[in-house]
Chains A and B, each alone.
Chain A
């Protein structure tokens, strides 16, 4: 059986700190796979390894049957892996639309001669780039803000723009690092349907990191749990909340019910946020 993405015994150290140890799992494609775990579990580090920001000390990363462990980040993007950042990294000097344009392969592969001569075919290609990006703005609901500076947007919208920018690279696999962080309940509901749309209609495979359990259980088809750099569980949204190790390691018994989202009144959500802050 072939998988879209396979992480094989990934191990990574930061000096003496073991950030990832012997992590193995796969993304089977056509699924929304979630990666969860307490703060500092190594989730972002794993993303950075998949996208090539960090090199693994051990293990391999196989994408579409190709070992990509030693490729540069931009080469992995060309293969179809795109990501968003937990700490937003948009271009503040540029407009909302420009933040998407520069990520579009048609735009960032323009040649010197083409740009100087502005021939007919070249402009036609440019037109398609703009149309693609405007369609993405439409999808993420930012069409009216196209000429605004990217960082003048409210926080939640900046997160959406990050997703849009990753989409503009025309990815096969989309990695979302805490896409709902800092969003309110309404925004999170919209985000859920946006991610589902991207997965179904736009046929992107999705791997996401998220803190909010309710959100994760609602959106994902399968869940991987990391703790202290190790995979401690893997299973369906039905299985994971019942898993003893997960309950023990990740959530702390007393808060578990709260996190599992069976009782997600606004008061509890606030509570959840403050707990999340505390962990940080």
Chain B
């Protein structure tokens, strides 16, 4: 409670703009220059993981935080993107850049196919169906070995080539995920402050009221599902190329739950929240390697503590920009 009022005082103060600007410039240049500050591959790997999970959390946030649909199969779309991209690159020598979009496209198609019949289901039922879908996708990776080589996975996924330069080491991947992250952030930002974002929020909190003002709930749920799946598939191809290997056990339902936990702990319906959640939940297991077996217990505890003290997450809806929709037209001149 106190933190919120502190925030609004700060927000209203004259310095707010400058502080935010300074924070963006400083953290932005730190992020840009990180590979020059440290050449520690471990640090870079952690940063790449944070970027990757931020993109996954941001995209899932559209479904769960905005359209209000619990989805337990986000990792399946990530996997579909990873396998699609890897297979195209390995079998058909398709360029990484094209494979990335193919991965996104394929995941979007599956998002649509799953969403069309199931999004009429509510709450728990949808959760169960998505859980099942995620497992089916994983089992396809395991069992269709003529295509996927089953549990052996697909090794040797090629690195991206940009203007004749073949990616090697962590640094180029670090910059690539930075770009992917910024594009995702941009898309999410524009969408969530638009009429689409408002309609999704209205579907989340009261479908009946939404319908009574002319909003068609299924349309917005489907839209959220497809966009979110596409972004997950997109970054899935990135992952395949970065690790140079895909296998079914990377795409377990527990990973879907981890991404969901990032969104919920970070703050449903908040973009900074998703990034904070992704960062915290990527760092915790790294910092606490020693007690890795108790990781899930720790997540559970963290969830309970959050439910009690900050039920809307680290950086939830309450910090959202008020009337952001109106702010997008400040620069339109009167005519």
With the chains together, A102 CA to B209 CA distance in Å? 11
The answer, yes or no, to whether A127 is at the interface (CB within 8 Å) is yes
How many interface residues does chain A have, given as a range? 35 or more
- A102 CB contacts on chain B under 8 angstroms: 195, 198-199, 201-202, 210, 213, 215
- A147 CB contacts on chain B under 8 angstroms: 322-323
The answer, yes or no, to whether A68 is at the interface (CB within 8 Å) is no
The answer, yes or no, to whether B208 is at the interface (CB within 8 Å) is yes
Contact A109 B223 (CB under 8 A): no
Contact B213 A126 (CB under 8 A): no
Minimal Cβ-Cβ distance residue in A for B215 = A108
The answer, yes or no, to whether A69 is at the interface (CB within 8 Å) is no
- A83 CB contacts on chain B under 8 angstroms: 212
Contact B206 A89 (CB under 8 A): yes
The answer, yes or no, to whether A159 is at the interface (CB within 8 Å) is no
Task: With a 10 A CB-CB cut-off, give which of B208, B269, B325, B328 has the most chain A CB atoms.
Answer: B325
Q: How far, in Å, is B155 (CB) from chain A's closest CB?
A: 37
- A52 CB contacts on chain B under 8 angstroms: 211
Contact A85 B209 (CB under 8 A): yes
The answer, yes or no, to whether B126 is at the interface (CB within 8 Å) is no
The contact string, 1 if C-beta is below 8 Å from chain B, for chain A 253-273, is 000000000000000000000
The answer, yes or no, to whether A165 is at the interface (CB within 8 Å) is yes
With the chains together, A112 CA to B213 CA distance in Å? 20
With the chains together, A94 CA to B198 CA distance in Å? 9
- A95 CB contacts on chain B under 8 angstroms: 322-323
With A72-B211, A108-B215, A147-B322: A101-B195 Cβ-Cβ less than 8 Å: yes
- A90 CB contacts on chain B under 8 angstroms: 209
The answer, yes or no, to whether A105 is at the interface (CB within 8 Å) is yes
Q: How far, in Å, is B48 (CB) from chain A's closest CB?
A: 26
With the chains together, A93 CA to B214 CA distance in Å? 19
The answer, yes or no, to whether A82 is at the interface (CB within 8 Å) is yes
Contact A103 B323 (CB under 8 A): no
The contact string, 1 if C-beta is below 8 Å from chain B, for chain A 166-206, is 10110000000000000000000000000000000000000
The answer, yes or no, to whether B329 is at the interface (CB within 8 Å) is yes
- A62 CB contacts on chain B under 8 angstroms: none
Contact A108 B198 (CB under 8 A): yes
Q: How far, in Å, is A213 (CB) from chain B's closest CB?
A: 28
Contact B212 A73 (CB under 8 A): yes
The answer, yes or no, to whether A153 is at the interface (CB within 8 Å) is no
Contact B209 A91 (CB under 8 A): yes
Contact B214 A98 (CB under 8 A): no
- A97 CB contacts on chain B under 8 angstroms: 323, 326
Contact A127 B332 (CB under 8 A): yes
Q: How far, in Å, is A93 (CB) from chain B's closest CB?
A: 6
The answer, yes or no, to whether A244 is at the interface (CB within 8 Å) is no
With the chains together, A73 CA to B335 CA distance in Å? 37
The answer, yes or no, to whether A66 is at the interface (CB within 8 Å) is no
Number of interface residues of B (CB under 8 A): 34
The answer, yes or no, to whether A115 is at the interface (CB within 8 Å) is yes
Contact A110 B209 (CB under 8 A): no
- A101 CB contacts on chain B under 8 angstroms: 195, 198, 325-326
- B191 CB contacts on chain A under 8 angstroms: 112, 115-116
With the chains together, A73 CA to B208 CA distance in Å? 9
With the chains together, A85 CA to B190 CA distance in Å? 32
With A78-B214, A108-B215: A126-B196 Cβ-Cβ less than 8 Å: no
Contact B201 A93 (CB under 8 A): yes
Contact A82 B213 (CB under 8 A): yes
Which secondary structure dominates where chain B touches chain A? helix
Contact B213 A94 (CB under 8 A): no
The answer, yes or no, to whether B187 is at the interface (CB within 8 Å) is yes
With A74-B215, A92-B205, A112-B227: A130-B198 Cβ-Cβ less than 8 Å: no
With A110-B194, A115-B190, A115-B195: A126-B323 Cβ-Cβ less than 8 Å: no
Q: How far, in Å, is B307 (CB) from chain A's closest CB?
A: 18
- B223 CB contacts on chain A under 8 angstroms: 112
Which listed residue (B211, B323, B325, B332) contacts A124, Cβ 8 A?
Answer: B332
With the chains together, A115 CA to B227 CA distance in Å? 13
Which listed residue (B196, B210, B211, B331) contacts A110, Cβ 8 A?
Answer: B196
Task: With a 10 A CB-CB cut-off, give which of B269, B317, B326 has the most chain A CB atoms.
Answer: B326
Contact A108 B205 (CB under 8 A): no
Contact B323 A146 (CB under 8 A): yes
Contact A108 B323 (CB under 8 A): no
Contact B328 A126 (CB under 8 A): yes
Contact B212 A82 (CB under 8 A): yes
Minimal Cβ-Cβ distance residue in B for A149 = B322
Beyond A107-B198, A127-B329, 10 additional contacts (C-beta under 8 Å) are A72-B216, A74-B212, A78-B214, A91-B206, A94-B198, A95-B323, A98-B323, A112-B196, A115-B196, A147-B323
Give the 7 A-B residue pairs with the shortest CB-CB distance, closest first: A115-B194, A77-B214, A110-B195, A103-B213, A107-B195, A102-B198, A73-B211
- Residues of A that sit less than 8 Å from B by CB: 51-53, 72-74, 77-78, 82-83, 85, 89-95, 97-98, 101-110, 112, 114-116, 118, 120, 123-124, 126-127, 129-130, 146-147, 165-166, 168-169
* 25 intermolecular pairs with C-beta atoms under 8 Å apart: A53-B211, A85-B212, A93-B205, A93-B269, A95-B322, A101-B195, A101-B198, A102-B210, A103-B214, A106-B195, A108-B213, A108-B214, A108-B215, A115-B194, A115-B196, A116-B187, A116-B191, A123-B329, A124-B335, A126-B325, A127-B329, A129-B195, A146-B323, A147-B322, A147-B323
